[in-house]
A and B are shown apart, each in its own frame.
Chain A
Amino acid sequence: MTRPPTTYYGQPALKPAPWVWKVPVYTFAAPVAGAAQLIGTIADLSDPDGGRSIVRHARYAALAGAAFGGPLLIGDLHTPMRWYNMLRIFRGTSPMSIGSWLLTGFGAFSSVVALAQYTIDRNAASARRTATGRNAGVRLSSRIAAVAQLPAAAAGAGMSLYSASLFTATSSPLWAAAPRSLAVKFGSSAVAAAAAGLSLLEHASGRPSPAASALDRIAGAATAMNLGATVAAGRAWRKAEVDGPLTEASAIGASYRIGSILLGQVLPLVCHALNASRSRPSRGLSMLGSLGIVCGSFLMRLAVIEAGKKSSQRPVDSLRFTSGRPRKRDG
């Protein structure tokens, strides 16, 4: 423990990010949509037949996330009418700029993919009725989707992790203290939640495809990685003595520890591990684990964002975080 620094009447030395609930909701919905597009594309490439329903769900979910996330992001601007100024420039030092372009690209490509998928689905439905089989429209749509899903998946991968950079590239001590582990945490949590969400959709559709249990394994692997990053981030926060907002008895602390770690990581890992060891996986365990991951992923984002805002309002934390005196000299 270093000596707590002097403060100026305890006044905050930094200002908190002026963001409301829309940002945590966006940083859940959009990264998960991005990761869903990524998983859908991988499923399409590695198992085109077995993963057909996964691909379908992923493509619609990706568009839904982008369509839901965009307005949220615009709504959080203090002058929403000027949202298009986000596209005036590209700035590599600003994850907000990187993210605006990622979302734009992701939204555009995901729309093409989802539209192509819709054409395929409609034709498949009418083909079943008329028994004419696959027609030229379906073949064209399949090809469009197969091509457009590649840039959509690449943008989706970016979407899944960039929000960690958005937070870490600030002066808020809690966000700044763990740049690498926070990025792994956000990225793996998005992949886990997307796989879990797709698994839930498989169960909800009534006839889970044979590839569905692979989704639970992906979610399990991503959750294990998330747990590792959680430990690493926790260590970095403790070392920098900025972990207060997440470890104290408060709503933020509880949603982090109970919501994101217990419900979102430990419980799902137990469920999915039990299921993996059974010869016939239980549907209940799979759904319970998946629900835990999805809720935990949201609560993690909510807690980290609120804790970061709180962190910047604590002068003891922020001044200690920047208290290194490497090059102090007089004059």
Chain B
Amino acid sequence: MSGESEASTGTKIEPGRRYGFFTDTTLCIGCKACEVACKEWNLLPSDRASLSGMSYDNSRGLSATRWRHVAFVEKLDESGELPTAMPPFQSHWLMMSDVCKHCSNAPCLEACPTGAIFRTEFDTVVVQQDICNGCGYCVPACPFGVVDVDTDDGKAHKCTLCYDRLKGGFEPACSKACPTESIRFGELDELQRRATARVGELHAAGVADAYLYGTPGSPGATGGLERLNAFFLLTAEPEVYNLPCSPDRPANRVVPSLASGLAAVAALAAAAAALLGMRR
């Protein structure tokens, strides 16, 4: 399959390969074109607009109807005072376009009892709207607070990495709309190569804080999460962006929990047999 994506990003979209996003926060200018493009392409309803008082972030976070979200962090200086001088890089701003991480292993997928959430031929994670029954178990399973149940339609929703566009050979709407290439769509191996090179470039330029979040072995890809197909280049602690440093795979706890519970109930069953049998 060839198409628009090959022309615009150099990425040929073929089933059976792994695709993802590399979001380089040092290039983000906070224009929110990704939020808007996502809403438009995916026909997501508008959110009730209100002022949050959180810098320029009035959309506050990802939700069932908001699959890209731009975070705005205004950095204070060490003393906590408002800064009066401008640093040479990124001034006092950290901006980051957050999105579903399309984890591997994906906790939402592993939690889904209906098989509505599945891994596509592009190695992305999608909720099939015609199967989801809105049990909501994917919601607390997600280590990143991404997937959400819409109480209006009773289904779980999150970023599909524009599954429909990929099928047609188009790059996702958000990366297409990003004017600074902060959001890059591509094949995962290629993106990771590029991201590693970018970190080296930034380090050489004196941005010692730059690191990757979500590539194998880095923060975000921990505790059984091998990698995040949507990964990030950050310049502050993950928590600053509301990201967990060491998330884990909730399914790791299923066996220990069931085994402990079974042992306890078995012991009590044996005690019950002894106590009831004593009167025979």
CB within 8 Å of B: which residues of A? Answer: 5-9, 11-19, 35, 38-39, 42-43, 45-47, 50-51, 54, 76-83, 85-86, 88-89, 91-98, 100, 157-158, 160-162, 164-166, 168-172, 175-176, 179-184, 186-188, 190-191, 195, 210-211, 214, 217-218, 221-222, 225, 229, 308-309, 312, 315, 318-319, 322-331
Contacts and interface: CB of A to CB of B under 8 A. Distances in A.
Interface string B141-168: 1111111110100110000000000000
Interface in B91-130: 107, 110-116
Nearest to B134: A78
Closest 8 CB pairs of A and B: A78-B134, A161-B261, A183-B261, A78-B154, A322-B244, A8-B242, A82-B133, A97-B113
Contact of A161 (B264, B271, B273): B264
Contact of B276 (A47, A92, A222, A326): A47
A50 B279 contact: yes
B111 A322 contact: no
Given A171-B141, A319-B239, A79 B54 contact: no
Contact of B257 (A93, A157, A179): A179
Chain A contact surface mostly: helix
B232 interface: no
B247 interface: yes
With most chain A CB atoms within 10 A of its CB, the pick from B132, B137, B211 is: B137
A187 B149 CA distance: 30
Contact of A100 (B52, B113, B271): B113
Given A78-B151, A96-B135, 9 more contacts: A5-B237, A6-B239, A11-B60, A82-B131, A82-B134, A98-B254, A222-B268, A319-B244, A329-B217
With most chain A CB atoms within 10 A of its CB, the pick from B52, B107, B253 is: B253
Given A6-B237, A187-B261, A322-B247, A93 B110 contact: yes
Interface in B199-223: 199-200, 203, 210-212, 217-219, 222
B54 A312 contact: no
Contacts of A100: 113
Contacts of A191: 265, 268-269, 272
A94 B113 contact: yes
Interface in B234-280: 237, 239-248, 250-251, 253-254, 256-258, 260-269, 271-273, 275-280
A187 B264 contact: yes
Interface residues of B, number: 85
Nearest to B263: A184
Contacts of A169: 111, 141, 250-251, 253-254, 257
Nearest to A85: B114
Given A79-B134, A168-B253, A214-B279, A14 B140 contact: yes
B70 to A, nearest CB: 12
A196 B273 CA distance: 16
A315 B144 CA distance: 11
A77 B242 contact: no
B73 interface: yes
Contact of B240 (A6, A95, A168): A6
B3 interface: no
A4 to B, nearest CB: 10
Contacts of A7: 239, 242
B203 A162 contact: no
Nearest to B218: A329
A46 B280 CA distance: 8
A228 to B, nearest CB: 10
B275 A217 contact: yes
Contacts of A322: 143, 244-248
Contacts of A93: 110-111, 251, 254
Contacts of B279: 47, 50, 210-211, 214
A183 B259 CA distance: 8
Contacts of A325: 219, 245-246
Contacts of B273: 42, 45-46
Given A8-B71, A86-B133, A331-B196, A170 B140 contact: yes
27 contacts: A9-B52, A9-B55, A11-B54, A12-B145, A14-B145, A47-B276, A54-B276, A82-B134, A85-B131, A89-B114, A93-B251, A93-B254, A94-B110, A96-B111, A97-B113, A162-B258, A169-B257, A170-B141, A171-B250, A186-B261, A191-B268, A210-B279, A211-B279, A221-B275, A323-B246, A330-B212, A331-B199
A86 B52 CA distance: 39
B251 A17 contact: no
Contacts of B210: 330
Nearest to B148: A15
Nearest to A159: B265
A259 to B, nearest CB: 21
Contacts of A80: 133
B228 interface: no
Contacts of B28: none
